[in-house]
Structures are given as C-alpha cells and as structure tokens.
C-alpha cells in the first residue's frame, strides 16, 4: 500500500508533445507538491497545493500546469515538451503547513521524463 | 547566493568514522528545518527534523544555530548503508509558504 504513488514511472516522448504525470497520496494529507530534479540532482519545487488551493507557484514556464481534482490527487500537465524538460519529477505530500512534523514531506518514487 | 547552501562533497569516509555536514541558510525568517536522505535513483526520505535544542536519533545528531543561521548533521560510527546524498531543507511562512532544498552533500562510506 504505497503512500504516494506516481504514474508513469518512465516517460519517453518527442519534443513538442503534451504529456501528463499523475500523483495520488493515501495519507490523508492536506498539502501536495511537485518537484523537478535535474541532471545535477538539484531538487527544485515547482508547485504546491494546500486543500486544493495553489500556494506555491515558482517561476516555471506556463507550459506546466498543475491540477488538483481533490486533496488526494495532484497531476502535472506539460504542453509542448522541450529537451530541457528532461528530468525526474517528484510528487510529495505533507500533513499541513503549520511547522515541524506537519511539514514532513513524503515523496513518490519519481517519474523519469526523457524528451527526445 | 542560494538561500540554502551545502558543501556538495563528496565525503569519502571509512566505516566507523564520524562525519559532519553543515548547511547554511540566508533568510532569518526560516522556521522549520529538516535533514532528508536520498539514495541513488530513489526519492528523498526524511532522516530527521531539526529542533532548536538539538536532537539525536541513534547515531545521528542534528543541531540548529539560529544566530549563525546554520544546521548540522553528525553521523557517528558510519555504516556502508549510510552512503547517500543528504539534503538540508528549510521552510518559512513569512511572505508566503516556501520550502527550499539544499543541493545535497554526497557521502560514500567505504569498507
């Protein structure tokens, strides 16, 4: 019973395509996140939702659009994929944002995206 | 300058050694601090939260120095299985919620 799951695990696609990555958490958490980890292994936050409300929206191209249909799901849609989008994308969730243990983030296994 | 900075390493230590990692943060409004561990090709996992009074979990000790704006992680009696990348994480709520990961410090423990 995986706590945070992502699909697909691997995604190989051509430049210019549109793709989606799905994330689900069964922890009952209120907050979910999307991160990008590039080839230099630097983990950078992209978006965060708290109770389905967008609370973090870092400087990310508007080709990236998160969608949270409910608290347990946060999907990432990417339009017009570019070579530089190749990376590992991690979804995470935390109980809340009130500090301390509430902010402990649980990560999904990652989606390895390769744009050719 | 990055808001959270770590020595990238790598640190190469023999089994049984004690190794210490430091992490500095630039925003004094930072409120919560954590150490995460990431194994190769895996997701990050919480190692421990860092409290003002310092905290210990077995062979791991974390310290926070708010005046100097750094946190540290000490690993005693290193095991081969400690080989991983250690990520410093800082969050704050002032001016909107923000969570920032350091670039990580790589540790190799050798037999």
Cα–Cα distance, B60 to B66 (Å, whole number): 20
Do residues A32 and A23 lie in contact, with contact meaning Cβ atoms separated by under 8 Å? yes
The 10s digit of each residue's pLDDT in A66-82 is 999 999 999 999 999 99
Query: Percent of chain A having pLDDT more than 70?
Result: 96
Q: Please give the pLDDT value at position A21.
A: 98
Non-local (6+) Cβ contacts of A45 within 8 A are A33, A34, A35, A56, A58, B99, B100, B101
Cβ–Cβ of B45/A109 closer than 8 Å? no
For chain B, which ranges sit under pLDDT 50?
A: none
The 10s digit of each residue's pLDDT in B27-48 is 888 889 999 999 999 999 999 9
Give the chain A residue whose CA is nearest to the CA of B5.
A42
Give the chain A residue whose CA is nearest to the CA of B85.
A41
- Chain A within 8 Å of B3 (Cβ-Cβ)? no
CB-nearest to B101 from A40, A43, A101 is A43
- From A42's Cα to the closest Cα of chain B, the distance in A is 5
**Helix (H) or strand (E) segment spanning residue A49:** strand A43-50
Cβ–Cβ of A45/B97 closer than 8 Å? no
The 10s digit of each residue's pLDDT in A86-98 is 999 999 999 987 6
Mean pLDDT within A18-44? 93
- Which candidate in B41, B91, B99 is best for mutational testing of the A interface (most A CBs within 10 A)? B99
By three-state DSSP, how is residue A89 classified? strand
Cα–Cα distance, A69 to A21 (Å, whole number): 14
């Amino acid at each position: 019973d995986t706590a945070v799951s992502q699909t697909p695990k691997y995604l190989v696609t051509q430049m210019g395509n549109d793709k989606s990555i799905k994330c689900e958490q069964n922890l009952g958490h209120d907050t979910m996140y999307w991160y990008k980890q590039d080839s230099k292994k630097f983990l950078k936050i992209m978006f965060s939702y708290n109770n389905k409300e967008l609370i973090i929206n870092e400087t990310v191209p508007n080709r990236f659009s998160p969608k949270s249909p409910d608290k347990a799901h946060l999907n990432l849609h990417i339009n017009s994929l570019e070579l530089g989008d190749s990376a590992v994308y991690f979804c995470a969730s935390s109980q809340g944002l009130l500090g301390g243990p509430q902010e402990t983030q649980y990560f999904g296994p990652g989606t390895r995206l390769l744009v050719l | 300058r990055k808001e959270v900075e770590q020595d990238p390493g790598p640190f190469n230590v023999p089994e049984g050694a004690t190794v210490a990692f430091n992490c500095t943060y630039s925003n004094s409004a930072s409120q919560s601090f954590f150490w995460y561990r990431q194994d190769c090709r895996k997701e990050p996992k919480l190692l421990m939260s860092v409290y003002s009074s310092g905290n210990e979990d077995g062979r791991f000790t974390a310290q926070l120095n708010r005046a100097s704006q750094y946190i540290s992680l000490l690993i005693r009696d290193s095991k081969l299985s400690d080989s991983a990348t250690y990520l410093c994480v800082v969050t704050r709520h002032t001016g909107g919620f923000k969570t920032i990961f350091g670039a990580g410090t790589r540790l190799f423990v050798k037999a």
